[in-house]
Amino acid sequence: MQAISVGLLGLGTVGSGVVQIIENHQDKLMHQVGCPLKVKKILVKDPVKERAVKVDPSLLTVNPADVMEDPEIDVVIEVMGGIEHTREHLLDALKKKKHVVTANKDLMAVHGSELLTAAQENGCDLFFEASVAGGIPILRSLVDGLASDRITKMMGIVNGTTNFILTKMSQEGLAYEDVLKEAQRLGYAEANPASDVDGVDAARKMAIMASLGFSMKIDLEDVKSKGITSITEEDLKYGKQLGYTMKLLGIAEREGDKVEISVEPALLPSSHPLASVNNEYNAVYVYGEAVGETMFYGPGAGSLPTATAVVSDLVGVVKNMRLGVNGRSSVSPQYEKQLKDDGEIHSKYFLRLHVHDEVGVFSEITSLFSKHGVSFEKILQMPLKAKELSEIVVVTHQASLKDYQTILMELRDLRVVKDIKSSYRVEGSVSA
């Protein structure tokens, strides 16, 4: 049985996990694919650097050509990150008829269509399960497990860093800045955490999921995104008082032929399964017309969980090689992209205001909402110690995003309103 040779681009956290799994699970992998799998060459920046896994120094190279030009290497696994240089490497690999497995959601969100087209043209596989939600097999489930169903909604926690931060803030009453420092110290957040806390990482993952789940070409700029940096302890406290838990949610929803995709902090009923997904864990709810609700839960990052998804894709490539069907699994988008406008996006909203503590204030605010056909589901009103102000917290009934944004603009011009402190989407209802 001739071995399948792999070229590995990157030997960091995930790359080390890939090497470990291929070495330690060789019996299982051979049983799956009918032949040995071996890592033949590994592209690194620094061959003498200490790493989490011991490898034969002769496998290491700083020259991409040692991977791309080697005729014995059948599959290139990319776990080094980056976008433009990495894109060039993978296009080169595909043109040389090498199959590609990548864990790079940034690359796939920006250049996925181009790479998938190149794979199809060259009769190659391009698999990217590990690019979304680490060890959770969500993409394979959308493409294969739920292939016969019509997906109507995907909603989930797809960024472990922000989920860790919100969990600590909510459970321990800590400030955002303090928890971020702890997340950085523990390695859950980067020194520059902007991609995570501004919602960009989650937006890239939702673009990939929506493209596959809805069979449309969804681009990163189609995803409306908002991060967690402005969330305060007060927001979480009032949310909890009203029966909600705050999460950074990725939401992709289809109604008829139109879709909306967003990433934003949102309040969920504390009884909702996603509300109990804590720390660095990820979870995705998928709603199908036939299957109903399904939920996928597990570690969203880390060396071995992500490497498990990478090596599972490798197994898929090798099975296709043995069947002679490489390059045929990619399916072009079925539908033209049609995005909902703000008048077609409906949700409930949480709103926290500081208002002047005087007679008729609440009546004035209620009239403004009523003018736009929006009513209240929940209301809290508390006096503030300073400056003769009151705090009002409301949760609205369903309203269009267009109407709600108009209300926010008009509230800012209202004399009785001192400040709009915060505003968030609300998903689902709290049981009475």
Q: Side chain identity at 21, as an amino acid letter?
A: I
8 Å CB contact between 152 and 253: yes
pLDDT at 5: 97
8 Å CB contact between 311 and 29: yes
Question: 111-124 pLDDT, tens per residue?
Answer: 998 999 999 999 99
pLDDT at 234: 95
What is the distance between the alpha carbons of residues 159 and 132, in angstroms, rounded to a whole number?
9
| Superfamily (CATH) of domain 138-299 | Dihydrodipicolinate Reductase; domain 2 (3.30.360.10)
pLDDT at 432 over 50: no
Binding residues for NADPH: 105
Window from 35-44, 383-392, 409-418 with minimum mean pLDDT: 383-392
Q: What is the mean pLDDT of residues 128-147?
A: 86
- For 343, residues 6+ apart whose C-beta sits below 8 A from its C-beta are 400, 401, 402, 403
Q: What is the mean pLDDT of residues 359-371?
A: 93
Longest dimension (CA), the chain: 85
What is the gyration radius of the CA atoms in the chain, in angstroms?
24
pLDDT at 431: 57
Q: What is the mean pLDDT of residues 234-258?
A: 96
C-alpha distances (whole Å) from 428 to each of 71, 267, 274, 378, 398 are 55, 9, 11, 13, 10
Is 4-134+303-323 in CATH node 3.40.50.720? yes
Residue 338, Cβ density class (10 Å: 0-12 exposed, 13-18 middle, ≥19 buried): exposed
Tokens of 98: 């090498």
3-state secondary structure of 5: strand
pLDDT at 320 over 90: yes
pLDDT at 276 over 70: yes
Which candidate in 205, 224, 348, 418 is catalytic?
Answer: 205
pLDDT at 376: 96
Q: Are 4-134+303-323 and 138-299 equal in CATH topology?
A: no
C-alpha distances (whole Å) from 4 to each of 22, 42, 101, 122, 392 are 12, 15, 14, 19, 64
pLDDT at 304: 86
Catalytic, 98? Answer no
CB burial readout 399-431, b (16+ within 10 A) else e:
bbbebbebbeeebeeeebbbeebbbbbbbbebe
**Whether the predicted model's global pTM rises above the 0.75 cut:** yes
Label residue 181 by pLDDT band (50, 70, 90). very high
**Per CATH, which fold does 344-426 belong to?**
Alpha-Beta Plaits (3.30.70)
pLDDT at 1: 65
8 Å CB contact between 301 and 160: yes
C-alpha distances (whole Å) from 162 to each of 68, 211, 216, 289, 295 are 37, 23, 28, 30, 20
Residue with tokens 């909702």: 272
pLDDT at 429 over 80: no
Q: What percentage of the chain carries pLDDT values higher than 90?
A: 81
Q: What is the mean pLDDT of the chain?
A: 93
Binding residues for L-homoserine: 190
Question: 40-79 pLDDT, tens per residue?
Answer: 999 999 998 988 899 999 999 999 999 999 999 999 999 9
What is the distance between the alpha carbons of residues 205 and 225, in angstroms, rounded to a whole number?
12
Q: What is the mean pLDDT of residues 17-34?
A: 94
Question: 330-360 pLDDT, tens per residue?
Answer: 767 889 999 999 999 999 999 999 999 888 8
Vertex 342, ends 143 and 349: CA angle to 5°? Answer: 90
What is the distance between the alpha carbons of residues 22 and 208, in angstroms, rounded to a whole number?
27
3-state secondary structure of 50: coil
User: Would you list the domain boundaries of the chain?
Assistant: 4-134+303-323, 138-299, 344-426
pLDDT at 141 over 50: yes
Binding residues for NADP(+): 9-16
pLDDT at 300 over 80: no
**Pairing of the two strands 73-78 and 99-102:** parallel
